[in-house]
Amino acid sequence: MVKHIDAIIVGAGWAGSIMAKELTEAGLSVVMLERGSERTTPVEGAYPESIDELRGAIRKRLFQNLSQSTLTIRNTMDQTALPYRQLAAFLPGEGVGGAGLHWSGVHFRVAPEDLRLRSAVIERYGEKFIPEGMNLQDYGVSYDELEPFFDKAEKVFGTSGEAYKVQGKIVGDGNVFSPDRSDNFPLPAMEDTFSASVFRDAAKNAGYHPYSLPAANASRQYTNTYGCQMGPCNFCGYCSGYDCYLYSKASPNVNILPVLRQDPRFSLIPNAHVLRVDLDSTKTKATGVTYLDTKTRKETSLSADLVILGAFQFHNVHLMLMSGIGKPYDPISNTGTVGRNFVYQTITSSRVWLPPSTYTNQFVGAGGAGVAIDDFNSMNFDHGPLGFVGGSPVWVNQAGVKPIAAALGAGGGGTPRWGSAYKDSLVNTYKHSLGIDAHGSNMAYRDVYLDLDPTWKDAYGQPLLRMTFTWKDNDIRMNQYVVSKIEPIARAMGATKMNLVHLNAGQPFDTRTYQTTHLGGGAIMGENPQTSAINRYLQSWDVSNVFVIGSNAFPQGMGYNPTGMVAALAYWAAHHIRTTYLKSPGPLVKA
């Protein structure tokens, strides 16, 4: 039997939860399907079980079960891809809340020129500046258009930060490179950890412009626009990989789902693995979705007028490929859109040791707290003589070093991994060091993409998604340049030793060590249906009652963390669905 609802949402993370809230507000009946299990903070987040490091970040309680479904990875098109069998380089979430439950909480807006990076680069350096094979593109939406939705999201997330400019007036010691805001942050910035304050002083003395990272870790207790409550962060350090027992880290579970669950128009089905979006015979209209109950292995079809894909970035791409929505990307002919412009971020973490008399108290921290400089991010510096596109914020983001992670992280690089020298190094590193990251952009390339694997299948019999990805010269040089700027800052901090980490020329992408979960692109937004899978309202060009919400929409990987942008895009798309689409369903942009 097929049950009809107004809107189906795939995925119970930020994108899905925002869309569900908006669509129920518009009066629609909404069914949200989540592949993983139910998770509510009063149960899963209960103290102290929720901060068991072994169960949490080490055994990866909140992450995707790769034994059921994963993807295959290769560096280049001439290689054979193999399945990603152990979570390492990136950590997709699973269960209600998705990546929005296990994230750290760094909650950026966007550098306005990153939204029109192709145009900006051409304006400043000319079209020839863009390297051969780089698919540099604009988003098709401007910062001014998105601003109200960034503001709305911050008030839902309870974001802590210090503004620079509000309504044209300089109001505080915020990021001088950040664009104008319609309103201040709902909460004041998080306090600096000791390490962040040392970095702030050194960066300022070096002539840079340090600012407090905007954090969706509540610096005060907060009741958001939906009446959901947050407790204030106590810097316990259990953010990334954990559900916050203090209700301080924003998550769909804390900030949106409590109110949604009270709405009779809303229902959430966990353990529902969506196999495909069902299309009508014309392949231009979705009729609903078919999902598998992962407990009973029973397939169910639901019919709906509107289908929102709000799963993790590459799951959205996988679902589009499995459903036949849009044309799969072909790197040989450089045609097709689904799988095109798959991007990542270029991130390296360096370590600096301060004198033994200085304690960095690394056991404290918060995932979103820290101090950054944007002097080498986006278009904030002159790329002309450097010859690369993109950039990186540089920051000290002390998120709290947990005991097992501290032990695993010590040693190596000339220091033994066992014995008394290891122990000395562990103690010294834990007590006196700090990390500095270059958290950079990653450009899109013609031969970096996603498609369906010809060989490997998941536990449900569907082909795995195949990722073809490696580091490219442009991004390696960008990373090297920005990391070179860390050294003088570290010296000014009084470093006695430093381990500056950057990518090396020709270095391939290595899946074995954690880098970031900020994957992007693959089903990007844009103004041209030949080079983008979804239009500026995140609506499929090909199937107009399907909207695809997530970092899959990013044409390039940006230097900032993606969640704030994903949330703003979700509210942006929802706004246009509510004000335009629902009145007259059909394409919001003529192809």
Partner 1 sequence: MKKPLFIACILGAGLTGSAIAQDTDTATLEKGRYLAAASDCAACHSVHGKPEYSGGVSFSLPMGKIYSTNITPDPEHGIGRYTEAQFSRAVREGIRRDGSTLYPAMPFPSYARMTDSDIHALFVYFRKGVPAASVATPDNEIKWPLSMRWPLTFWRWIFAPTPHKAITRTAGEFTDPQLARGAYLVEGPAHCGACHSPRAITMQEKSLTADGGRLYLSGGAVVDGWTPPSLRQENRTGLGRWREEDIVAFLKTGRAETGSVFGSMTSAVLHGTQKLTDEDLRAIAHYLKSLQTADQSQTPWTYDPTITDQLHKADLSSQGARVYIDRCAACHRTDGKGYPAVFPPLAGNPVVMQTDPVSLVHIVQAGATLPAMTAAPSSFTMPAFNHKLTDQQIADVVTFIRHAWGNNASPVSAEEVEQFSKSMPPSDMADDTPALN
Of residues 236 through 255, those in contact with partner 1 by CB under 8 A are 236, 245-247, 254
Alpha-carbon span 398 to 361, nearest angstrom? 10
Alpha-carbon span 487 to 352, nearest angstrom? 9
Tokens standing for residue 400: 């709290």
Q: How far is the CB of 46 from partner 1 (least distance, A)?
A: 5
Q: What is the DSSP letter of 134?
A: B
Q: What is the DSSP letter of 190?
A: P
Question: Closest CB to partner 1 among 45 and 339?
Answer: 45
Tokens standing for residue 232: 């204030």
Q: How far is the CB of 103 from partner 1 (least distance, A)?
A: 19
Q: How far is the CB of 155 from partner 1 (least distance, A)?
A: 16
Q: How far is the CB of 188 from partner 1 (least distance, A)?
A: 16
Of residues 197 through 226, those in contact with partner 1 by CB under 8 A are 221, 226
Contact between 47 and partner 1 by CB under 8 A: the answer reads: yes
Binding mask 257-286 for partner 1 (x = CB under 8 A): xxx-xx------------------------
User: In the set 1, 78, 168, 227, which binds partner 1 (CB under 8 A)?
Assistant: 227
Count of positions on this chain that bind partner 1 (CB under 8 A):
28
Tokens standing for residue 205: 């003395």
For residue 227, count CB atoms less than 10 angstroms from its CB and return exposed for 0-12, middle for 13-18, buried for 19 or more: exposed
For 31, list phi and psi in degrees, rounded to 5. Answer: -115, 125
Alpha-carbon span 212 to 370, nearest angstrom? 6
Q: How far is the CB of 156 from partner 1 (least distance, A)?
A: 13
502 is catalytic: no
User: In the set 142, 205, 234, 496, which binds partner 1 (CB under 8 A)?
Assistant: 234
Among the residue ranges 227-235, 311-319, 357-365, 431-439, the one whose residues contact partner 1 (CB under 8 A): 227-235
Contact between 43 and partner 1 by CB under 8 A: the answer reads: yes
Tokens standing for residue 545: 């009652």
Angle among Cα 5, 8, 9 to the nearest 5 degrees reads 155
Contact between 424 and partner 1 by CB under 8 A: the answer reads: no
Pairing status of strand 30-33 against strand 266-269: parallel
SS3 457: strand
Question: Closest CB to partner 1 among 21 and 502?
Answer: 21
Q: Which entry of 209, 518, 575, 576 is annotated as an active-site residue? A: 518
Q: How far is the CB of 237 from partner 1 (least distance, A)?
A: 12
Question: Closest CB to partner 1 among 40 and 334?
Answer: 40
Alpha-carbon span 156 to 259, nearest angstrom? 12
Contact between 27 and partner 1 by CB under 8 A: the answer reads: no
Alpha-carbon span 554 to 141, nearest angstrom? 11
Question: Closest CB to partner 1 among 221 and 284?
Answer: 221
Number of Cβ within 10 Å of residue 464's Cβ equals 21
Of the candidates 102, 121, 125, the residue with the CA atom closest to the CA atom of residue 113: 121
The catalytic site residues sit at 518
Q: Which residues of this chain interact with partner 1, rule CB under 8 A?
A: 40-43, 45-49, 221, 226-232, 234, 236, 245-247, 254, 257-259, 261-262
